């Protein structure tokens, strides 16, 4: 790991460390991993796995049937986005010879790339969901609204077989003001858990994920334009897919400067499949 100088061995080890570290960070630190299907192949295109929903006929025993057409949607996920970071490291050999300095910096870079992927995926998911729900006035920060919001959201996707995969809700950290107050006042056992442990994670069978304020935005992110400021997202897990390419790590000497440039990134893509888009709800926070 600490091999330096002109040898490519150290760079090779660092590249392997980067790749494995990003995979670990993505699994532990991102919401997208928990709520989407994840494809880690190097395929550039992933075809739509869903077709039309079949409906069985109910009739008296006759041994006859009507033939329906099996239709598919010509749709696919393409890796069109890239999360990448680069920086110039002076005294490269000296810094990279210290494992703790090197490992910490690589961790920070991996988290930066992982956050960029999560930020993009969550905004695309919110943008593409065709379900809609406006919160009562005051949104999530009003404690009395929390059970109303959550029950209305659960009702929107209940009754579909896909809901057995589990449900999710992604909120921003300032929303917790009302959520926590409501949980602390919700019955003896549940409120005791909230008071002792700061319970946020699950309620009414919905897994609750918290991201930082400003995650949902009106912006162009990569090649995608989203209008999500003041929005949050709820839905059924596993009805969308994000695809992650093989991470790339490079070390380059730069003319006229000491040290080296480090570049690190990966390609990725996201798709909320058309047949399941109604199972993802775009929440408008009414203030």
DSSP conformation letters of 160-182: SGGGGG-EEEEEEGGGHHHHHHH
CA angle 76, 82, 237 (to 5 degrees): 50
Does the residue 274 lie in any domain? Answer: yes
The confidence score (pLDDT) of residue 5 equals 43
Sequential pLDDT tens for the chain (287 residues) = 344 444 455 667 677 777 777 777 777 668 998 999 989 887 888 888 887 778 888 889 998 988 888 777 778 898 989 999 888 887 766 666 566 777 777 788 888 888 999 999 999 999 999 999 999 999 999 999 999 999 999 999 998 888 888 999 999 999 999 988 888 777 656 555 555 555 567 888 899 999 999 999 999 999 999 999 999 999 999 999 989 888 888 888 877 877 788 888 889 999 999 999 999 999 999 98
Does the residue 62 lie in any domain? Answer: no
Judge contact between 44 and 78, C-beta under 8 A: yes
The confidence score (pLDDT) of residue 157 equals 94
Does the residue 251 lie in any domain? Answer: yes
CA angle 265, 114, 248 (to 5 degrees): 20
For residue 170, which of 216, 225, 117, 109 has the smallest C-alpha distance? 216
The confidence score (pLDDT) of residue 269 equals 94
Does the residue 64 lie in any domain? Answer: no
For residue 39, which of 47, 31, 50 has the smallest C-alpha distance? 47
The confidence score (pLDDT) of residue 218 equals 98
pTM for this structure? 0.83
Q: Which domain holds residue 170?
A: 9-50+69-284
The kind and range of the H/E element at 96 are helix 92-96
The confidence score (pLDDT) of residue 4 equals 43
Judge contact between 246 and 61, C-beta under 8 A: no
The confidence score (pLDDT) of residue 139 equals 96
Does the residue 1 lie in any domain? Answer: no
Does the residue 30 lie in any domain? Answer: yes
Does the residue 20 lie in any domain? Answer: yes
Domains in the chain, number: 1
Strand-pair partners of 234: 169, 281
Does the residue 95 lie in any domain? Answer: yes
The neighbour count for residue 253, using CB atoms within 10 Å, is: 11
The confidence score (pLDDT) of residue 175 equals 95
CATH at residue 196? 3.90.1690
């Amino acid at each position: 790991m600490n091999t330096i100088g002109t040898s490519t061995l150290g760079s090779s080890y660092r590249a392997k460390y980067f790749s494995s570290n990003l995979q670990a960070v993505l699994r532990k630190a991102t919401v997208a991993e928990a709520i989407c299907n994840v494809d880690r192949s190097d395929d550039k295109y992933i075809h739509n796995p869903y077709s039309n929903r079949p409906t069985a006929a109910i009739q008296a025993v006759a041994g006859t049937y009507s033939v329906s057409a099996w239709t598919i949607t010509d749709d696919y996920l393409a890796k069109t986005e890239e999360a990448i970071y680069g920086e110039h490291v002076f005294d490269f050999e000296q810094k990279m010879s210290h494992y703790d300095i090197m490992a910490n910096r690589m961790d920070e870079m991996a988290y930066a790339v992982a956050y960029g992927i999560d930020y993009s995926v969550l905004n695309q998911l919110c943008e593409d969901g065709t379900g809609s729900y406006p919160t009562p006035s005051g949104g999530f920060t009003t404690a009395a609204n929390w059970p109303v919001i959550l029950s209305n959201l659960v009702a929107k996707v209940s009754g579909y077989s896909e809901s057995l995969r589990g449900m999710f809700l992604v909120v921003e950290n300032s929303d917790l003001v009302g959520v926590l107050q409501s949980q602390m006042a919700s019955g003896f056992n549940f409120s005791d858990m909230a008071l002792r442990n700061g319970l946020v994670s699950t309620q009414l069978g919905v897994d609750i994920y918290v991201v930082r304020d400003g995650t949902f935005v009106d912006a162009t992110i990569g090649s995608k334009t989203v209008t999500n400021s003041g929005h949050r997202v709820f839905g059924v897990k596993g009805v969308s897919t994000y695809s992650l390419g093989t991470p790339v790590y490079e070390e380059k000497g730069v003319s006229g400067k000491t040290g080296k440039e480090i570049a690190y990134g990966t390609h990725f893509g996201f798709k909320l499949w058309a047949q399941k888009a109604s199972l993802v709800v775009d929440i408008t926070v009414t203030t």
